[in-house]
């Protein structure tokens, strides 16, 4: 089995490899492609434009040529996946889509945290769609200043700031906190005021395994 991951941050490679180990995915199953330029372009444009979405889709389709499933790990670019299914030889998934589905199953009052402003809109649409058929409620919050820390290389400060925001959400009555971006997942272990926060790498890879399994069978490797 081969699962291809399209990232917009080099540091997310280690994050997804750690999630793969937690899920028992064998070594060398994941393949990683990093396109930091796509997120930089979206931030510069104030969001996902048609041109950036087209470039992202082409990259995903290219990865699908040699993969059994492809996961897009960047929430800002997530909507690029929406029209790709019919043209791809392998399933293409959004990790944040899997996260939203997991949060909806958890139910209650969901607080989804983001650190990039361009992620707020796609995350809101995704989570609100996910809970439409349930009694769960969703609130999407930006964690101020966190992304500045990440871009400056202060990963410890970044994760601590996110964990503090998650603890604040639990203190304000959240049933479950979802960390909407893959880069945020390390903060889950630092949260102390409620259940372990949901993160997208584990949810996304689990969904990729499920999507690929009808074609290969779980545990197949190549």
Please write the tens of the pLDDT for every residue from 156-192.
999 999 999 999 999 999 999 999 999 999 999 999 9
29 and 84 together in one domain: yes
106 plus 89 within the same structural domain: no
Domain check: are 191 and 107 in the same one?
Answer: yes
Residues 87 and 107 in one domain: no
Decide if 197 contacts 191 (C-beta within 8 A): yes
Establish if 222 belongs to a structural domain: no
pLDDT interval class at 215 (50, 70, 90): low
Is 154 domain-assigned? Answer: yes
Read off the pLDDT of each residue in 112-139 and give the average, rounded to a whole number. 92
Given a cut of 70, is residue 222 above it in pLDDT?
no
Count of domains in the chain? 2
With respect to residue 72, please indicate whether it lies within any of the assigned structural domains: yes
Which pLDDT value is given to residue 133?
84
pTM of the model: 0.84
Split at pLDDT 50, 70, 90, the class of 214 is low
Question: Do 105 and 169 fall into the same domain?
Answer: yes
Q: What is the pLDDT of residue 219?
A: 42
Whether residue 64 sits in one domain with residue 24:
yes
- Predicted confidence band at 82 (pLDDT cuts at 50, 70, 90)? confident
Tell me: pLDDT of 86 over 90. no
Residues 150 and 180 in one domain: yes
Task: Based on the fold, state whether residues 128 and 209 are members of the same structural domain.
Answer: no
Strands 69-72 and 92-94: parallel
Q: Give the other-Cβ count within 10 Å of 144's Cβ.
A: 11
Coil, helix or strand at residue 49: coil
Domain of 141 in residue numbering reads as 97-200
104 and 69 together in one domain? no
Mean pLDDT of 205-214: 86
pLDDT class for 212, splitting at 50, 70, 90?
confident
Is 54 a member of any domain?
Answer: yes
Same-domain status, 115 and 185: yes
pLDDT given for residue 203 in this prediction: 92
Is residue 49 domain-resident?
yes
* Residue at 137 is within a domain: yes
Report the CATH number that the domain containing residue 105 is assigned in CATH: 3.40.50.1860
Same domain, yes or no: 84 and 113: no
The CA angle 129-20-142, to the nearest 5 degrees, is: 40
Poorest-pLDDT segment among 30-34, 108-112, 131-135 = 131-135
pLDDT above 80: residue 61: yes
Neighbouring residues of 144: CB distance < 8 A, sequence distance ≥ 6: none
Q: Per the domain annotation, does 221 fall within a domain?
A: no
Structure letter (DSSP) for residue 90 = S
Are residue 104 and residue 192 in the same domain, yes or no? Answer: yes
Give domain status of residue 23, yes or no: yes
């Amino acid at each position: 089995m081969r699962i291809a991951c399209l990232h917009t941050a080099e540091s997310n490679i280690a994050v997804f490899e750690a999630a793969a180990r937690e899920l028992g995915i064998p070594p060398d199953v994941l393949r990683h492609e990093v396109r930091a330029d796509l997120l930089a372009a979206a931030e510069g444009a104030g969001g996902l434009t048609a041109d950036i979405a087209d470039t992202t889709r082409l990259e995903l389709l290219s990865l699908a040529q040699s993969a059994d499933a492809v996961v897009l790990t960047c929430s800002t670019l997530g909507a690029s996946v929406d029209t790709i299914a019919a043209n791809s030889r392998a399933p293409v998934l959004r990790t944040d889509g899997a996260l939203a589905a997991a949060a909806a199953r958890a139910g209650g009052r969901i607080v989804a945290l983001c650190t990039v402003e361009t992620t707020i809109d796609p995350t809101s649409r995704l989570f609100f769609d996910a809970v439409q058929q349930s009694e769960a409620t969703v609130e999407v919050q930006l964690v101020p200043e966190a992304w500045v820390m990440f871009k400056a290389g202060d990963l410890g400060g970044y994760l601590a700031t996110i964990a503090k925001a998650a603890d604040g959400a639990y203190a304000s009555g959240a049933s479950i906190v979802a960390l909407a971006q893959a880069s945020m997942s390390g903060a889950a272990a630092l949260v102390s005021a409620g259940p372990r926060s949901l993160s997208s790498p584990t949810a996304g890879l689990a969904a990729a395994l499920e999507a690929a399994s009808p074609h290969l069978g779980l545990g197949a490797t190549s």
